[in-house]
Amino acid sequence: MAKGFRIAARALRQLGGELITSDDVALNELIKNAFDARSPRVSVSITATADMAALSLLEEQLHNGSIENAQAIERIEKAVSSALTLDARAKLIKKLNEYLDDKDGFTRFLKKFYESQTIVIQDRGRGMSKDDLADRFLVIGTPGKLLEKTESGKSDRPILGEKGIGRLSMMRLGQLATIRSKTKDGKWHEIKFDWNRFDDPALFLDQVEVEVDEATTEPDLPHGTEIVISRLNANWTPEKVSAFINKYIRRLQDPFLVDKLPYPIDIRLNEKRQSIASLPDWLKGCAQFKASIRFDPSGLDGTEQVFRRELVWHGTTTPEIRSWELSELTRQLGVPASLFKSLGRFEANCLWFNRQRLAGNGVERTRTEIADELNNWCGGFSIYRDNFRVGKTGGMDDDWLEWDSTALKAKGFALNRYQTVGSVAISSTTNPRLVDAANRERLISCPEQELLKNLLGEVIVQDLRSHIYAIRDAEAKLAIAEESTEVSMKRSEDSLKKTLSTLAEISKTIPTEHKAKVAEIREALHDQVEYVKTIKNSLNMARETKVEILELANIGLVVEIVIHELSRLTERTGELLSDLKTKKSDADILGVVDNLRSQINATNKRIRTVDVMSPSGRHRRERYDAVAQTQAIVAGFANRFKRHKVVCLVSLDERTDELGELNVYMVRGLIAQVLENLLSNSVYWLQQGLREGDSQRTIRIEIDSKALCINVSDNGPGIDPRNARDVFMPYYSTRKKGKGLGLYISRELVDYHGGQLYLDASEDTDGRLRTFVIELPKEEK
What mean pLDDT comes out for the span 559-566? 54
Q: In this model, does residue 410 exceed pLDDT 60? A: no
Q: In this model, does residue 254 exceed pLDDT 70? A: yes
Check: CB of residue 340 under 8 Å from CB of residue 326. yes
Nearest partner of 506 among 593, 591, 588, 569, judged by Cα: 593
Q: In this model, does residue 327 exceed pLDDT 60? A: yes
| pTM for this entry | 0.65
Confidence tier at 341 by pLDDT (50, 70, 90): very high
User: To the nearest whole percent, how much of the chain has pLDDT over 70?
Assistant: 76
Residue with the larger pLDDT of the pair 338 and 755? 338
Q: In this model, does residue 383 exceed pLDDT 90? A: yes
pLDDT of residue 635: 83
pLDDT of residue 618: 46
Q: In this model, does residue 266 exceed pLDDT 90? A: yes
546-580 helix and 461-507 helix, angle to the nearest 10 degrees: 20
Report the C-alpha gap between 339 and 677 in whole angstroms: 57
Of 9-13, 44-48, 402-406, the least confident: 402-406
Amino acid at 695: S
Check: CB of residue 596 under 8 Å from CB of residue 569. yes
Q: Residue 91's CB: how many other CB atoms inside 10 A?
A: 13
Q: Residue 556's CB: how many other CB atoms inside 10 A?
A: 29
Report the C-alpha gap between 422 and 464 in whole angstroms: 13
For 114-158, list the strands marked E by DSSP.
118-123
Average pLDDT, the chain: 81
pLDDT of residue 462: 87
Of 189-193, 268-272, 496-500, 727-731, the least confident: 496-500
What mean pLDDT comes out for the span 277-303? 92
Q: In this model, does residue 296 exceed pLDDT 70? A: yes
Report the C-alpha gap between 479 and 476 in whole angstroms: 5
pLDDT of residue 144: 52
Q: In this model, does residue 272 exceed pLDDT 90? A: yes
Of 305-319, 429-443, 554-568, 581-595, the least confident: 554-568
For 606-708, list the strands marked E by DSSP.
621-625, 646-652, 663-667, 697-704
pLDDT of residue 655: 86
Check: CB of residue 378 under 8 Å from CB of residue 250. no
Q: Tens digit of pLDDT for each residue in 41-68?
A: 999 999 999 998 899 999 899 889 888 8
- Highest average pLDDT, of 440-449, 485-494, 590-599, comes from 440-449
Alpha-helical (H) ranges within 122-181 are 130-132, 144-151, 169-173
What mean pLDDT comes out for the span 708-715? 93
> Distance between terminal CA atoms of the chain?
93
pLDDT of residue 620: 65
Q: Tens digit of pLDDT for each residue in 391-401?
A: 889 888 888 88
C-alpha distances (whole Å) from 502 to each of 419, 518, 572, 594 are 57, 12, 10, 16
What mean pLDDT comes out for the span 195-203? 89
Torsion on CA atoms 529, 531, 737, 633, rounded to nearest 10: -120
Residue with the larger pLDDT of the pair 137 and 572? 137
Q: In this model, does residue 153 exceed pLDDT 60? A: no
Confidence tier at 642 by pLDDT (50, 70, 90): confident
Q: Tens digit of pLDDT for each residue in 22-48?
A: 898 889 889 988 998 899 999 999 999
Residue 231: φ, ψ to 5°? 50, 60
Q: Tens digit of pLDDT for each residue in 91-116?
A: 999 998 888 888 888 899 988 999 89
Q: Tens digit of pLDDT for each residue in 577-632?
A: 455 455 556 666 666 666 666 666 666 665 555 554 444 444 567 788 888 888 88
What mean pLDDT comes out for the span 475-503? 66
C-alpha distances (whole Å) from 597 to each of 395, 522, 566, 594 are 72, 10, 11, 5
Partners of residue 713 on adjacent β-strands: 700, 771
| DSSP structure string for 543-564 | TT-HHHHHHHHHHHHHHHHHHH
pLDDT of residue 179: 95
Q: In this model, does residue 450 exceed pLDDT 90? A: yes
Report the C-alpha gap between 317 and 590 in whole angstroms: 63
Check: CB of residue 194 under 8 Å from CB of residue 230. no
Non-local (6+) Cβ contacts of 327 within 8 A are: none
Report the C-alpha gap between 401 and 760 in whole angstroms: 45
Q: In this model, does residue 301 exceed pLDDT 90? A: no
pLDDT of residue 7: 83
Confidence tier at 648 by pLDDT (50, 70, 90): very high
